[in-house]
Amino acid sequence: MGGLVVLICMVVSWMFIHRWSQRNKKGPKTWPFFGAAIEQLMNYDRMHDWLVNYLSKSKTVVVPMPFTTYTYIADPNNVEHVLKTNFNNYPKGRVYHSYMKVLLGDGIFNVDGETWKKQRKTASLEFASRNLREFSTKVFREYALKLSAILIQASILNQEIDMQELLMRMTLDSICKVGFGVEIGTLSSNLPKNSFADAFDTANIIVTLRFIDPLWKIKKMLSIGSEAKLEKSIKVVDDFTYSVIRKRKAEIEDVRKSGQQNQMKHDILSRFIELGESNATDKSLRDIVLNFVIAGRDTTATTLSWAIYMVMTHAHVADKLYLELKLFEENHAKEENISLPQFDKEDSESFNQRVEQFSRLLNKDSLERLHYLHAVITETLRLYPAVPQDPKGILEDDVLPDGTKVKAGGMVTYVPYSMGRMEYNWGSDAASFVPERWFKDGVLKNESPFKFTAFQAGPRICLGKDSAYLQMRMVLAILCRFYKFKLVPGHTVQYRMMTILSMAHGLKVTIHKRC
């Protein structure tokens, strides 16, 4: 018994000596065996701000974990090294792929090498396609107007609504139309529940938890806890996706047999089948399309939610944006020789007609003339990037430009959420929402994609950037021209931990129409 007591005392003493030896360490303190896992778990719900605290003191933070080491970076020079200069050494990697495979499979966001190159080449051709751009513009306008119709009724009834939920429904409907070519109707006036959407969200949350849950593989093997819930959610997602794929393959085959090639659809799934993917398995098509869904639905909806929150909490920004949109409407109508009849915001029919008329002025070229709107969206992405962290695997030992050594088998994560808040990147007002920072001498300016990392950079830079801006401009132009939003008293706005920076409790607001 005495020997056991001595052993316990020695172990405890060793652990505390280990902790004391780290008193001057810049990153999180670690424990033997557990590394920094305990501190990460304690701060899981606020992990992005936990990292802001450390990265504000050091541009690189090393976080040892039980089975690997995470190196977090916020210095643009380090980011450029990882995303471009030594790109081949920092793939998505085996670890990331194993965590995300159940949801993303072997889609473009979860693979490396030849599989990634092939998908990216096909996707880049499609995003450059005039047909897809015109189809997307039509779809984005259609669903923005459906959203507007719901807001009109909410304003009449003085209802409290969750804008994030509505935007998630809108972007899900639109990306399913653009991605699958199907109408799923979640933005219908009665706001029906949708099992695919619910299951997709649940799966997204649980796979994110895997990054810090050392027991997830055991739970998966035993089919218990979060992993059991994940399994059920993925089945719902797969059942819906596979049914659409089989239906679309049959439709394409019917069109080919009839010889009516002009009847081919322009959605992404159809195009991947037509462009040589017809021999691919349903599984590979499932992976391709679900990757586009997570890219085009969640990211856009969360950015729009944060943008509306920023506009409603910065009155001068809301006023400046409204004036730009109203002047745009008047000038554009004058150029097109279009009459703008008076409308009464209390008369739903005339109000809705004016919204529809305004929407017809909005296309890719005209929206690009709305420079302040662009700045508002970009500033939102700087502070609230849709993808707040992006981890990469490490194939071989390397040294980052700042001298940090990274070991093969570990992970390097660049952190857009933290990078946007660093004074060493953006100046003393880095934490403030200032759309004007995107202008120089009155002209919109660009920043290095290794500093403004919301759309990644290097060979993996986001192919859907222009499409995302098109939809966000379209929606915000309509919303900020014709509505004012007011946060419901007492409603808390904070992010929740998942791969996408969504709001934990939604965005509860009341709606007021404006002339």
Annotated binding site for heme: 462
User: What torsion do the CA atoms of 71, 504, 492, 311 make, to the nearest 10 degrees?
Assistant: 80
Q: ∠ at Cα 285 (264, 460), nearest 5°?
A: 105
Which residues lie across from 513 on neighbouring strands? 483
Q: ∠ at Cα 57 (52, 58), nearest 5°?
A: 95
Ranges of H-type helices in 441-487:
465-482
Can you tell me the distance from the alpha carbon of 169 to that of 172, in angstroms, rounded to the nearest whole number?
A: 5
Can you tell me the distance from the alpha carbon of 454 to that of 420, in angstroms, rounded to the nearest whole number?
A: 9
Phi, psi of 199 (to 5 degrees): -70, -40
Q: Is the dihedral of CA 381, 385, 387, 393 positive or negative?
A: positive
Query: How many separate helices (H) and strands (E) can be counted in the chain?
Result: 21, 11
Rg (CA), the chain: 25
User: What torsion do the CA atoms of 396, 120, 289, 199 make, to the nearest 10 degrees?
Assistant: 30
CB-facing half-sphere around the CA of 340: CA atoms within 13 A: 18
Among 277, 365, 370, which residue's Cα sits nearest to residue 322? 370
Phi, psi of 66 (to 5 degrees): -55, -40
Amino acid identity of 31? W
Can you tell me the distance from the alpha carbon of 509 to that of 486, in angstroms, rounded to the nearest whole number?
A: 5
- Write out the binding residues: 462
Can you tell me the distance from the alpha carbon of 351 to that of 361, in angstroms, rounded to the nearest whole number?
A: 16
Residues 269 and 289: beta-carbon distance below 8 Å: yes
Can you tell me the distance from the alpha carbon of 511 to that of 130, in angstroms, rounded to the nearest whole number?
A: 36
Q: What is the 3-state secondary structure (H, E, C) of 63-116?
A: EECCCCEEEEECCHHHHHHHHHHCHHHCCCHHHHHHHHHHHHCCCCCCCCHHHH
Can you tell me the distance from the alpha carbon of 500 to that of 303, in angstroms, rounded to the nearest whole number?
A: 10
